[in-house]
């Protein structure tokens, strides 16, 4: 039995098709009267913001939609200034990981002031922040329930991935599958594989626990079952809904476990090159599973089972290999790139990518220790 377990239940989660149009009572429950909305141009252009604003019944005091594909310090600062000038007392984020992380950074600065880098680290933030309600429009990041804020420091060319506190967790996660219906197939696939990486890394993390295990395994099952349908049949609300739930469950799981080598590589590569985080996780996931499996083979056997592998007559090694192959096949079936070269990472960048990945904080909970040489061999395999 484990000697110590900490599992944070985090945000209140509400799931229902169409609930995004009925946020007024939820805002009142959070004590908000002056709502500031954070989104990006994609959300606005897709028409997803209009029903949200209509349902807020005139309590919106401002909208910030200049959020880049990878949330940045500059965007957080601009959004904070606008929200502060508007006298906002509650933030609503509508979008994928970038708007959500931007809103998380804004609520930190609105409450505590200073620079966002002042709060880098674990549990540096130890007090309640400006209330935050999140409506994800992608099923992937799970950011609506996590204690992490991942912001890109463009000047330094890195992602600040070490802002971690239970006070960063949004107050409420509103899951409405109607908001994900217009998500293009490629983004549906990339964000879905992102959620899968969260679930798998949560399950094998050195911080795993029975609570996170149950969430992670069921999320893996849901994604293996429904991602292809969500990609190929975007209007299928059942598949969309299952993917939203899976993403949220994976986010809850990794909130107490952290990540591993998949995220170490994707954080680093995403800081070096403008590549979608979910796409990078998808590329890194299969070979990282094979790399880690000797450290915790029984866990990768269980992952393979959740992926739908029939282990009858197979050795544990064969089951694990089948699980790795199933993840790689899922990415291919969903039309995603499978190599770092396919997304513009030059071979000359691999030594730096390996060296920087070794020092990413997520390596601390990876089940297998790695040297720089081993990581270089791993990323070469991904290239």
Q: Within the chain, which residues score under 50 in pLDDT? A: none
DSSP, res 322 = H
Q: Give the pTM.
A: 0.93
Domain extent for 122: 12-180
Among 306, 322, 97, CA closest to 215 = 306
Shared domain check, 372 and 243:
yes
> What are the C-alpha distances in Å from 237 to residues 18, 230, 233, 241?
11, 8, 9, 6
The number of folded domains in the chain is 2
Show the beta-strand stretches assigned E in 43-147. Answer: 60-64, 90-95, 121-122, 132-136
Structural domain contains residue 25: yes
What is the rounded distance in angstroms from the CA atom of residue 132 to the CA atom of residue 248?
16
Residues 117 and 144 in one domain: yes
Are 205 and 323 within one domain? yes
User: End of a domain among 152, 180, 208?
Assistant: 180
CB 197 within 8 A of CB 262: yes
What does the pLDDT read at residue 238? 97
Q: Cα–Cα distances in Å, from 65 out to 85, 93, 98, 151, 221?
A: 16, 10, 11, 16, 35
Between β-strands 35-38 and 60-64, what pairing exists: parallel, antiparallel or unpaired?
parallel
Pairing of strands 148-153, 158-164: antiparallel
Cα angle 278, 124, 142; round to 5: 25
Same domain, residue pair 161 and 230: no
pLDDT for the residue numbered 297: 98
């Amino acid at each position: 039995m484990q000697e110590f377990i900490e599992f944070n239940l985090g945000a209140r989660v509400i799931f229902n098709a169409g609930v995004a149009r009925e946020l007024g009572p939820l805002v009142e429950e959070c004590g908000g009267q002056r709502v500031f909305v954070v989104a990006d141009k994609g959300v606005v252009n897709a028409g997803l913001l209009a029903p949200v604003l209509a349902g807020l019944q005139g309590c919106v005091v401002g909208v910030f939609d200049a959020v880049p594909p990878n949330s940045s310090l500059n965007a957080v600062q601009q959004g904070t200034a606008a929200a502060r000038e508007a006298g906002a007392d509650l933030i609503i984020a509508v979008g994928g990981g970038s708007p959500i992380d931007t809103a998380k950074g804004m609520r930190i600065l609105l409450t505590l002031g200073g620079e966002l880098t002042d709060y880098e680290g674990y549990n540096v933030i130890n007090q309640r922040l400006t209330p935050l309600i999140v409506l994800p429009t992608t099923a992937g990041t799970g950011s609506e329930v996590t204690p992490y804020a991942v912001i890109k420091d463009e000047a330094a060319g890195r992602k600040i991935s070490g802002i971690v506190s239970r006070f960063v967790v949004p107050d409420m996660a509103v899951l409405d599958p109607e908001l994900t219906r217009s998500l293009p197939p490629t983004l549906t696939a990339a964000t879905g594989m992102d959620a899968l990486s969260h679930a798998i890394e949560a399950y094998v993390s050195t911080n795993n626990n029975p609570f996170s295990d149950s969430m992670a395994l069921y999320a893996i099952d849901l994604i293996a079952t429904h991602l292809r349908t969500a990609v190929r049949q975007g209007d299928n609300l059942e598949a969309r809904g299952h993917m939203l739930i899976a993403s949220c469950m994976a986010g809850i799981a990794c909130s107490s476990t952290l990540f591993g080598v998949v995220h170490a590589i994707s954080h680093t590569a995403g800081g070096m090159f403008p590549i979608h985080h979910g796409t990078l996780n998808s590329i890194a996931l299969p070979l990282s599973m094979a790399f880690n499996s000797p450290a915790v083979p029984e866990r990768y056997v269980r992952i393979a089972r959740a992926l739908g592998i029939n282990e009858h007559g197979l050795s544990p090694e064969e089951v694990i290999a089948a699980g790795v192959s199933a993840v790689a096949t899922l990415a291919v079936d969903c039309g995603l790139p499978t190599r770092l070269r396919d997304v513009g990472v030059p071979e000359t960048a691999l030594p730096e990518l390996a060296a920087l990945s070794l020092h990413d904080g997520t390596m601390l909970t990876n089940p297998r220790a790695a040297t720089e040489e081993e990581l270089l061999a791993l990323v070469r395999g991904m290239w």
